[in-house]
Amino acid sequence: MQVVYKDKFSVVGIVITGKWDELATKMRAAWKTFFDQSSAILNTIGDYAFDISLAEDNGVYTQLICKEVSNIEEIPPGMVAKEIPPQAYIYHRHEGDVRQIAESFGKMYAWAVSEGYTVLDLKIDYGYTAQGDETVHDLFLAIKEPGDGPLASARYSTLG
């Protein structure tokens, strides 16, 4: 685990909301829809897609399945554009079964507590493919930065 700083970036994708017990079913359907329509997203960066956890409010989760874009020109029907602000994160590379990503995030939360970090709602899981055969995901867990400025000495700028 390490603390990193990511500059802002833009994404285009599909928003999913739901309670925890219905989220898995909604996400499976949304991933299929997303990959069926992702070729309509202009100016994409990289080969992989994101699952970004934007918020949790009274047990309702808001997720965004998306691709990073270099700029936003047109948004395909049924999709949204969002700018993810510059942020400090705990970073961990998950290697292995995608079904164990929640366990990796659990370890990240435990590490955050042990190191005294305040965790925010924003989580990023980068590494999804249309084929579903990926085994490496870059995981980011947003944290509140200590002091007034970005953690300039800890930069993470490429998601390759």
Q: Using alpha carbons only, what angle is made at residue 133 by residues 65 and 41, rounded to the nearest 5 degrees? A: 35
Q: Within a domain: residue 56?
A: yes
Q: How far apart are CA 129 and CA 145, in angstroms?
A: 32
Q: Within a domain: residue 160?
A: no
CA atoms within 13 A on the CB side of 6: 22
The predicted model gives 129-134 an average pLDDT of 84
Q: Within a domain: residue 64?
A: yes
Q: Output the domain CATH number for residue 121.
A: 3.20.80.10
Q: Within a domain: residue 158?
A: no
Q: Within a domain: residue 156?
A: no
Q: Within a domain: residue 150?
A: no
Q: Within a domain: residue 136?
A: yes
Which pLDDT value is given to residue 132? 80
Encoding tokens for residue 52?
């970004």
The predicted model gives 124-143 an average pLDDT of 91
**What pTM, to 2 d.p., does this model score?**
0.86
* Closest to 126 (Cα-Cα) out of 74, 64, 76, 80: 64
Q: Using alpha carbons only, what angle is made at residue 91 by residues 88 and 110, rounded to the nearest 5 degrees? A: 100
At 52-105, the pLDDT tens digits run: 999 989 999 999 999 999 998 889 999 999 999 999 999 999 998 888 898 999
* Closest to 26 (Cα-Cα) out of 56, 63, 57: 63
Per-residue pLDDT for 146 more than 80?
A: no
Contact 138, 127 (CB under 8 A): yes
Q: Which domain holds residue 105?
A: 2-143
User: Which long-range contacts (C-beta less than 8 Å, at least 24 apart) are formed by 18-21?
Assistant: 18/60, 18/61, 19/59, 19/60, 19/61, 20/59, 20/61
Into how many domains does the chain fold? Answer: 1
* Closest to 16 (Cα-Cα) out of 49, 46, 47, 56: 56
Encoding tokens for residue 99?
């079904």
Q: Within a domain: residue 24?
A: yes
